[in-house]
């Protein structure tokens, strides 16, 4: 008889770090290998299941997600700090993602092509890859996993999903909803564990044909280093240092409001969060005053939650101190929220006098910190906004249609916003960035098909047989 000794991890509430909200069992390396083997065996039946049936399972899961919206939102809020209202919005978005990809089960999976030869029929089919490993972050513990899992499943793959250890309870709950919806055994398996152990198994297992990951650039590079030579298909969604440009002809009130929302929603813990803002000098003072006014309206603990963990808390505060040492001027916030006896709360923070030589202008902070930079004109703004190793999202606020379209053409990002904040994505639209923000095919929309399937070309001789 073999006795399996698993590590037990306790999950704590970042709003009340002394409060244990649950426990999760972490899988061993050997158990993870068994999960992958089982997923590979389940693939044979799942790929031959009607895509309409696979889509219907996603629809039922969406119904269950909505029926359990309060439970899922509260679990995630308590686990990673996002306010419950923000989590309710994310759960609704998750249901929309499931419903969108449910319809994919009824859409065409190939096309008939003309052949140069008489008596031949030529057509293509999209076919699944096999076992897909989905490795997901803590900051969107519902939406990001679902926009990976849903297309993978509907196109006929089996999925081994490793949620972030920081959002393990939420991952467990989502997995249970798929089970309630009737997903066959081993078609979707949630594996809880550390990246150095469980994650490494997924990178190395020969049965895993594709890896889809969202997270830090450092981990993304390690995935390329470990799995790049194995011929696995790899999709990486990584960091951002997203810029907003506010021109003198913009609606200044709207621009300041949306820029601050873009910077501070989800406590700035979004890869698409607004991190830099370039303001044309003729309206700089007015816009800065409005940004500070908008920051004052944020109620920390109510409209903005804590950051997700002690490690994240310390990292953000260290970045703030570094900005001060490098010469940036702190004009609002800049430290732990006063009056909070516990919890990883940080005030909305605004810096001015920022140059591109400073870390605050170049490094992803992943917290409620905004760098404000004065520019002479639009040309300087777009030059500086493109001066980044990242290329995820960018926005411009202007009423000049020529500059808006020029920005669309010249901005070196995958997501362009005009008169809107840098965040936001819809299930039907491709999501992803340029430069060091993304590797591989885009996520969501019809683009998801590019990653989760491959082509099979078929020729049938119909004459002269």
Convert the pLDDT of each residue in 213-241 to its tens digit.
999 999 999 999 988 788 899 999 999 99
The three-class DSSP label of residue 264 is helix
Mean pLDDT in residue range 372-376: 98
Catalytic-labelled residue, pool 237, 280, 294, 443: 237
- Go through 344-360 and write b for each residue having 16 or more CB atoms within 10 A of its CB, e for each that does not: bbbbbbbbbbbeeebeb
Instruction: Express each pLDDT in 3-30 by its tens digit.
Output: 456 899 999 999 999 999 999 999 999 9
**Parallel, antiparallel, or unpaired for β 438-439 and 233-237?**
antiparallel
**What does pTM read for this prediction?**
0.95
Mean pLDDT in residue range 263-273: 96
Handedness of CA 296, 300, 306, 310 (dihedral sign): positive
Residue among 270, 239, 54 nearest 143 (CA): 270
Return the residue matching tokens 């340029």.
434
Q: Which residues contact 464 (CB under 8 A, 6 or more apart)?
A: 119
Judge contact between 351 and 373, C-beta under 8 A: no
User: Quick one: residue 268, left, alpha or beta (phi over 0 = left, psi -120 to 50 = alpha)?
Assistant: left
Judge contact between 465 and 261, C-beta under 8 A: no
Q: Which residues contact 69 (CB under 8 A, 6 or more apart)?
A: 88, 91, 92
The residue length of the chain stands at: 465
The three-class DSSP label of residue 405 is helix
Mean pLDDT in residue range 105-126: 93
Residue among 189, 167, 175 nearest 9 (CA): 167
Q: 268: buried, middle or exposed (CB in 10 Å: 19+, 13-18, 0-12)? A: buried
Judge contact between 170 and 145, C-beta under 8 A: no
Mean pLDDT in residue range 159-177: 97
Domains of the chain, start order:
7-238+437-460 (3.40.605.10), 242-418 (3.40.309.10)
- Decide if 237 is catalytic: yes
Judge contact between 367 and 350, C-beta under 8 A: no
Mean pLDDT in residue range 118-143: 96
pLDDT at 152 over 90: yes
Q: Which pLDDT score, from 0 to 100, does residue 463 have? A: 83
Q: Which pLDDT score, from 0 to 100, does residue 4 have? A: 58
Return the residue matching tokens 């902070």.
365
């Amino acid at each position: 008889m073999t006795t399996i000794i698993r590590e037990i991890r306790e999950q704590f509430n970042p709003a009340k770090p002394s409060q244990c909200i649950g426990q999760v069992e972490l899988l061993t390396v050997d158990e993870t290998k068994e999960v992958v083997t089982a997923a590979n065996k389940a693939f044979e039946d799942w790929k031959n299941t009607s895509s309409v049936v696979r889509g219907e399972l996603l629809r039922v899961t969406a119904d269950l997600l909505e029926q359990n919206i309060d439970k899922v939102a509260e679990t995630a809020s308590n686990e990673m700090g996002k306010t419950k209202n923000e989590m309710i919005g994310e759960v609704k978005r998750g249901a929309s993602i499931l419903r969108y990809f449910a319809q994919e089960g009824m859409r065409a999976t190939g096309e008939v092509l003309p052949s140069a030869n008489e008596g031949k029929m030529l057509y293509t089919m999209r076919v699944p890859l096999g076992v897909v490993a989905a490795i997901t972050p803590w900051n969107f513990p519902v939406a990001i996993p679902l926009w990976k899992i849903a297309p993978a499943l509907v196109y006929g793959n089996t999925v081994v999903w490793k949620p972030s250890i920081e959002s393990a309870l939420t991952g467990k709950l989502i997995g249970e909803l798929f089970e309630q919806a009737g997903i066959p055994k081993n078609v979707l398996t949630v594996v809880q564990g550390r990246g150095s152990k469980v994650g490494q198994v997924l990178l190395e297992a020969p049965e895993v044909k594709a890896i889809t990951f969202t997270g830090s650039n450092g981990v993304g590079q390690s995935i390329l280093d470990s799995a790049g030579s194995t011929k696995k298909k790899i999709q990486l969604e990584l960091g951002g240092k997203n810029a907003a440009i506010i021109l003198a002809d913009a609606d200044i009130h709207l621009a300041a409001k949306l820029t601050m929302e873009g910077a501070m929603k989800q406590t700035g813990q979004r890869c698409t969060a607004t991190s830099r803002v370039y303001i044309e000098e003729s309206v700089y003072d007015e816009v800065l005053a409005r940004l500070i006014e908008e920051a004052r309206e944020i109620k920390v603990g109510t409209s903005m939650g804590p950051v997700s963990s002690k490690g994240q808390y310390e990292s953000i505060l260290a970045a703030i101190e570094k900005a001060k040492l490098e010469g940036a001027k702190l004009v609002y916030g800049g430290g732990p929220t006063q009056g909070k006896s516990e919890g990883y709360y940080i005030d909305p923070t605004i810096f001015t006098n920022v140059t591109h030589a400073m870390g605050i202008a170049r490094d992803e902070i992943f917290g409620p910190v905004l760098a404000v930079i004065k520019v002479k004109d639009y040309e300087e703004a777009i030059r500086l906004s493109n001066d980044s190793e990242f290329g995820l999202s960018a926005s411009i606020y202007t009423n000049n249609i020529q500059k808006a379209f020029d920005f669309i053409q010249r901005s070196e990002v995958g997501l362009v916003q005009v008169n809107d904040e840098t965040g936001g994505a819809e299930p039907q639209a491709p999501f992803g960035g340029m430069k060091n923000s993304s590797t591989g095919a885009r996520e969501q929309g019809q683009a998801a098909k590019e990653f989760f399937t491959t082509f099979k070309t078929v020729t049938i001789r119909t004459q002269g047989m």
